[in-house]
Structure 1
């Protein structure tokens, strides 16, 4: 039997969004596979992520509170179907009379077989009910998102081979037709939508399809200009640093960002970071002292 999402996050049913977010962050840090070597940590992390995904979205949370663990199998237009069927009353488990739409799921999970048979079974056969669409998140590295390719995912005891398009961006949905909630009667199965979540990268920062990276330079490279290598997800590229480049200057590499199958690629931005030797040699120190004595440049005045 599926665990209660509130129980998974350790929050009360009336928890506000800040409590839910705080609980998720605390648990995610504890059970993330990168920091927790326990073999069960990965499954626990996925369970925590699913609970947060449902409870952090007000609309999805309302459906979960109303219908319980089977909320994904209830069609979005459930209330309209009840009204169209005429009435709104049926027979719950053991013949109990239930008025649909009043607190279902608040005291426990809803039995969908009883629910739908009560709604439509005794009313001349309302017809097949399509399965509800489902949504789940999956993580991938920036390099995986950049290159695309096939990926095997495991969800609710099922395995899926997914074709990830090159250049998928954070929040993009990939549709798996017919892999969602089961329909009632002869109703078709819903679709499964996989939402891509790109992991933070130690070097690159992703903004839409643009990729940002720091470009460390020596003081003489920044002053005199140079041609240097800059890393990209597709290997090294060369960039020309113009003379007089201070920290914060951004050098654009057109089209070197995330691929875009439906338009222009994103760009790459290398941001200059002027670095100085932490422990200069005696000769380097003398040269810097000579420069300090000769130069009239004042960085605080910009002249």
Structure 2
């Protein structure tokens, strides 16, 4: 009895099914397929896994996933990144504005004095430091202080920047005779150099063009930013050969000598050197002959 049951169970396990395809008109057998029941389950499982894999891939690697399930975390990261970029751009714009304003002051010939080292500041601090004494002692010390200030004003100090400038080899923008010297008291912040017409004006050092344009008083003007916090200006040119932002090498022609601007009284080059925001005498560092 037990043997017959085992045989029946084995036959059930070995049961096979046949799928037959008939012709609709002649009922003739066209094709047949033999399979076991587990084939169907395997096929259903395989198709299901394939569909699930395709759905996961679409959600992960295509924008469809963000539409169905947007990620707040990703959006937050993007917003933070954009905010940081905006702050960087604002700081850069402010720095650029300050830089442009300083260049405009230089073009207009404005000299900004250091409030910490000006004679007025020294005098005020020294007076505050004087203790209360008798009136004659106070007058004597005040007179001594004035004498010291006069000595300091007549002996210009040589800064570390000027010492570094003396070590540089500056190429003359052109060779010629100097018609007007540097004179800070008369607000003539450079030197005027006479040269033949159409003489090219050269860069004294390598640097970037920070200004190249027209000014009512100085005509066609070019400004070059060099290393060591040094800026050179070339004014009253007939034409300009370089644009703002361009890099020029030492000795490269940047303009042609001319007679432009209301402050020009004849063909010449007005050349200025500014070190750390203050004008310096170009003849101390360049031989124009």
- Relative to the length of structure 1, the TM-score reads 0.22
Larger Rg: 2
Structure with greater helix share of residues:
2
- Relative to the length of structure 2, the TM-score reads 0.22
